[in-house]
């Protein structure tokens, strides 16, 4: 299997996402040559495209398509009409999932087989479950289209399990652009909170845990083995999963090498050794993700306060967050917010 082609290091996205993006863009008379590099355009035309491409290419192509279509809801609409089975090998689990909680566990484990730039954070508050999607790789033109689409796909996947008439409790939208609010409402069918610090879906814990089917055990095991085999063959798969886990743990405020290693079933030394073998290290990944969060916060409206940014960067002291900004952005938050 041609897993990566010339993708190089960094998170990968399955080619199915690119194909579905190109198909939707054609509705706006936008061709693949307007969105992708020439080598990939030719490979798609000749049926020899790699199974995976850099996730950054997908993120940037989505933003370019929205710009060329003059439609800020391009990502939302593309995901609303996309084939849920067309995003890669994770669709092999269709028909074997017992509940939303089962689906999210598998998504956490194998999300890098769909899009390594996405991570998931799940929180439970008494009788409510909150599912947050985060992007670990900001695109050069932002990531709104990817994240709008990710929320739509998450809701559609849950409706495929719970029924098309099901609706979540609340959906948080990580930007404050209310243009087309009726379109968001029509597609998501739930109370919406714009201007949130994140993209998230809240639903009753009873819906999250509800068993809707009990698949044949052998069939599920066969699918699990197939996914594990594909995951093992992906280059730098563990590095991608570390990146996802770090982002999830930064969001929770509980971050450490030991905790990240444990969540991946590795010893800390073993994990560090693997990262070094692939030209990275744990500290570099943490810094990369903190920088990504800072860039997202500084591009958001309303801009965060220093205490809010300190919390999102998982620092305990605002003075540490302030030094971080000055070291990597050359200015404090007040000056940065003026730009």
Domain with CATH 1.10.10.60 in the chain: 236-337
- Greatest pairwise CA separation for the chain in angstroms: 59
Question: Per-residue DSSP letters for 302-321?
Answer: SPPPHHHHHHHTT-S-HHHH
Grouping H, G, I as helix, E, B as strand and the rest as coil, residue 53 is strand
224 token code pair = 């699990």
Cα 306 to Cα 210: distance, rounded to the nearest angstrom: 40
277 token code pair = 């073998």
Alpha helices in the chain (DSSP H): 15-25, 38-45, 55-69, 74-81, 100-110, 144-162, 181-188, 205-209, 217-233, 237-252, 257-263, 268-277, 282-299, 306-312, 318-329, 333-337
Would you state the pLDDT for residue 283? 92
Cα 299 to Cα 303: distance, rounded to the nearest angstrom: 7
What burial class does residue 44 get, using C-beta atoms within 10 Å of its C-beta: 0-12 exposed, 13-18 middle, 19+ buried?
middle
Per-residue pLDDT of the chain (339 residues; tens, 9 = 90+): 444 443 335 788 999 999 999 999 999 999 999 999 999 999 999 999 999 999 999 999 999 999 999 999 999 999 999 999 898 887 767 677 889 999 998 888 888 888 989 988 899 988 999 999 988 876 667 899 999 999 999 999 999 999 999 999 999 998 888 778 889 999 999 999 998 888 999 999 999 999 998 777 777 777 778 777 877 777 677 888 898 889 888 888 888 999 999 988 899 999 999 888 888 899 999 998 998 888 888 877 778 889 989 998 999 899 999 999 999 989 888 888 776
Cα 275 to Cα 256: distance, rounded to the nearest angstrom: 15
95 token code pair = 């028909």
338 token code pair = 């003026």
Contact 58, 78 (CB under 8 A): no
Q: Tell me the CATH number for domain 236-337.
A: 1.10.10.60
Cα 149 to Cα 126: distance, rounded to the nearest angstrom: 28
């Amino acid at each position: 299997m041609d897993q990566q082609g010339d993708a190089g290091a960094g998170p990968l996205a399955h080619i199915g996402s690119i194909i579905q993006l190109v198909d939707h863009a054609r509705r706006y008379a936008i061709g693949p040559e307007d969105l992708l590099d020439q080598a990939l355009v030719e490979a798609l035309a000749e049926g020899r495209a790699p199974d995976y491409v850099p996730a950054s290419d997908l993120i940037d192509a989505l933003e370019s398509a929205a710009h060329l279509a003059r439609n800020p809801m391009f990502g939302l609409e593309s995901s609303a009409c996309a084939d849920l089975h067309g995003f890669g090998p994770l669709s092999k689990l269709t028909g074997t999932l017992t509940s939303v909680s089962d689906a999210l566990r598998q998504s956490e484990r194998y999300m890098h087989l769909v899009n390594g730039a996405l991570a998931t954070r799940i929180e439970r508050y008494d009788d409510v479950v909150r599912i947050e999607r985060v992007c670990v790789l900001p695109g050069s033109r932002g990531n709104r289209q990817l994240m709008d689409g990710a929320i739509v796909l998450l809701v559609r996947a849950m409706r495929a399990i719970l029924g098309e008439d099901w609706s979540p409790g609340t959906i948080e939208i990580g930007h404050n652009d209310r243009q087309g609010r009726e379109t968001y409402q029509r597609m998501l069918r739930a109370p919406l909170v714009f201007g949130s610090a994140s993209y998230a879906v809240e639903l009753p814990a009873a819906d999250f845990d509800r068993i809707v089917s009990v698949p044949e055990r052998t069939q599920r095991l066969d699918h699990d083995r197939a996914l594990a085999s594909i995951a093992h063959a992906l280059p730098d798969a563990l590095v991608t999963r570390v990146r996802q886990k770090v982002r999830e743990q930064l969001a929770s405020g509980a971050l450490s090498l030991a905790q990240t290693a444990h969540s991946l079933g590795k010893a800390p030394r073993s994990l560090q050794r693997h990262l070094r073998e692939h030209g990275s290290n744990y500290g570099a990944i943490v810094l990369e993700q903190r920088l990504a969060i800072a860039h997202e916060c500084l591009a958001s409206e309303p801009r965060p306060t220093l205490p809010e940014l300190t919390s999102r960067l998982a620092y305990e002291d605002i003075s540490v967050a302030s030094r971080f900004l000055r070291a990597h952005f050359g200015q404090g938050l007040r000056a940065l917010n003026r730009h």
